[in-house]
Structure 1
Amino acid sequence: MARMHWDKDLVPLCALIAAECINVGAAILFKAATLNGVNYYVYTLYASAISALVLLLPLPFVLRRSTGLPSFKSSLLFRIFLLGLISLGTRLCGAKAIEYSSPTLAAAMSNLVPAFTFILAVFFRMEKAELRSSSTRAKIIGTVASISGALVVVLFRGPALKSASPPTNYPRDSSSTQTKWLLGGFLLLVQCLLAPIWYIVQTQVIKEYPAKLVVVFLYTLCGTLVAAPVCLVAEPDLSAWKIKPDITLLSIIYSGFLCTCLICLIEIWSLHLKGPVYVSIFKPLSIAIAAAMSVIFLGDALHLGSVIGAAILSVGFYAVIWGKAREEEELKEQCELGSPAIQPNNRTPLLQSYVNEEDNSK
């Protein structure tokens, strides 16, 4: 029993915390690379290609060991291709948003993911919004708070609590304006809208085809194949594709190997084990990490609006998560009592998938 607790609780906890640190590190390195003049189309394509190459290396060993896997159907291949498109869209939006704004804003806006997940679950009738239920009220209040906090952090910067101090190695772009900050916030909003859709599709794909590494490789390859013509057309200047051995090369390798590849493996494994809501629980950690690293390594200013908005976002985030945890407790209690109203097979596929897998494994 202790072994099961270690595998299902402590290991995913540590892995997802490490994933947030890796993700923030990638954002900091990319921001430093943009200050050094990197083109974000070049960055996105090279990082995606590195991820596909890294995932290709262990693939023959995985396929040799894998037995009894289902055959690829056209619907499954389409959803894997869709995963590649969504993943590419999130990378492009996220990279351009960080170029326009800051890693701290990106970390704060990522807390919208659970709220949008709840909205999509209700919209697609994967979850019922019962206003009499305390869990539903908590999720609604948390969703409103999260969206309000996002508006504060994007629209109200306020006075600087920590003035900007440009690092000696990277010149600061003095042309950054409020318009770019707002555009960066809008792109991050799009990224947060795409993330729950990615979680939904990926959870369904893993249920049908449980070979996680194969799925990650295939949709990463699809994203790279789509990114190649798109990025080459968007950036036709061949001189921009020549990478010097400096912070730009480091950021591309870091993103391709650790961020895109390792984080995808951690999240897809955690999605299979714990479900999509649990994966998003750790997003608020990135705010403090990003704020500290941005001030230390990039010399970014820390504004009052970012602190207030991030605090409201975090409160809303945890309200949604508390509501979800409360709902799961009620569902388990009703299932243990043998309530005919709620059966394990009828639970929402978006927010209850990991409970189904536990029940089916018994």
Structure 2
Amino acid sequence: FERKGRPKITKPILFQILLCSLTGATGNQVFYYVGLKYSSPTIACALTNVLPAATFLLALLFRQESVGIRTTPGAAKVMGTVVCVGGAMLLSFYHGQTINLGESGIHWKYAEMMRGGSSSSQGGSAIWGSLYLIISSVAWAAWFVIQARVNSQFPAPYTSTAIMTFMATIQCGAIAVGIEHNTAAAWSLKSPIRLVGALYAVSLFLLQLTFS
């Protein structure tokens, strides 16, 4: 689609696409999955709500957004940011009494194993998990800011997305090889949940890139 009308790929554009791959693809996904490992799905969902606030703050820092705090829209932006971040922090770091909703009739062995392993992630590991999830949201927000500049200077979204995912594949592959020494077991998709999870992650990521 963009073969005939896309602009020339210059070194500055290529560098910005590299930054997009490091933030929106590699940094976002790696920190998210590590944070999910050391926390829980509930905390991960809660801290994802930091994304709009982080995007607003970074856009403000790089002068892509204005506040106008004395105006009603500006005050609403600031108040929304405070409520968004505060609510996510409260839900993630405050541990109150457990609300018993009763036993479920659905017994999924994999989910029970995950729930049993999450009890050992309380304390320091849970805090680190939350911090990793916050870093993931900040990296994703940085991708929005950089990608907006790439789109304005290089209006060929399919080409930039293809280059970015290619770079991210190399980056994530290098990280996986460096961390997972038992590559045969780590890369095996014999388990149905691993196969479904991999396909879901890839399809979700491509959908996010397409509609962002």
- Normalising by the residue count of structure 1, what TM-score does the alignment of the two structures yield? 0.52
The letter for the 1-side match of 2:199 is: I
Name the Cα RMSD after superposition: 2.1
Partner of 2:19: 82
* C-alpha distance 193-168 of structure 1, shift in aligned 2 (>3 A): closer
1:46-98: CA deviation from partner (whole Å, max 9, x where unpaired): xxxxxxxxxxxxxxxx35xx322211010011111111111200000111112
In 1, the alpha carbon distance for the partners of 2:54 and 2:183 equals 39
Superposed displacement of residue 132, structure 1: 1.7
Partner of 1:167: 107
Structure 1: gaps (5+ residues): 1-61, 268-362
Picking from 129, 143, 148, the partner of 1:203 is: 148
1:141-165: CA deviation from partner (whole Å, max 9, x where unpaired): 2222222212211211212224586
Residue correspondence of structure 1 range 222-233 to structure 2 within 5 A: 222-233=167-178
Structure 2: gaps (5+ residues): none
The letter for the 2-side match of 1:169 is: K
Partner of 1:69: 6
Q: How many residues align?
A: 203
In 1, the alpha carbon distance for the partners of 2:108 and 2:53 equals 40
Partner of 1:193: 138
In 2, the alpha carbon distance for the partners of 1:93 and 1:100 equals 11
- Normalising by the residue count of structure 2, what TM-score does the alignment of the two structures yield? 0.86
Percent sequence identity over aligned pairs: 28
For the pair shown, which has the larger CA radius of gyration, 1 or 2? 1
Picking from 85, 92, 96, the partner of 1:154 is: 92
Partner of 2:211: 266
The letter for the 1-side match of 2:17 is: I
For residue 120 of structure 2, give the secondary structure of its aligned residue in structure 1.
coil
* C-alpha distance 77-183 of structure 1, shift in aligned 2 (>3 A): same
* C-alpha distance 180-262 of structure 1, shift in aligned 2 (>3 A): same
* Equivalent residues of 1:154, 1:181 under 8 A apart: no
Superposed displacement of residue 181, structure 1: 2.4
* Equivalent residues of 2:39, 2:130 under 8 A apart: yes
Higher relative contact order (CA 8 A, sep 6+): 2
Superposed displacement of residue 266, structure 1: 1.9
* Equivalent residues of 1:85, 1:223 under 8 A apart: yes
Superposed displacement of residue 190, structure 1: 0.7
Picking from 44, 55, 68, the partner of 1:117 is: 55
The letter for the 2-side match of 1:127 is: E
* C-alpha distance 176-72 of structure 1, shift in aligned 2 (>3 A): same
Partner of 1:249: 195
Superposed displacement of residue 129, structure 1: 3.4
Residue correspondence of structure 1 range 247-326 to structure 2 within 5 A: 247-256=193-202, 258-267=203-212
For residue 171 of structure 2, give the secondary structure of its aligned residue in structure 1.
helix
In 2, the alpha carbon distance for the partners of 1:192 and 1:78 equals 22
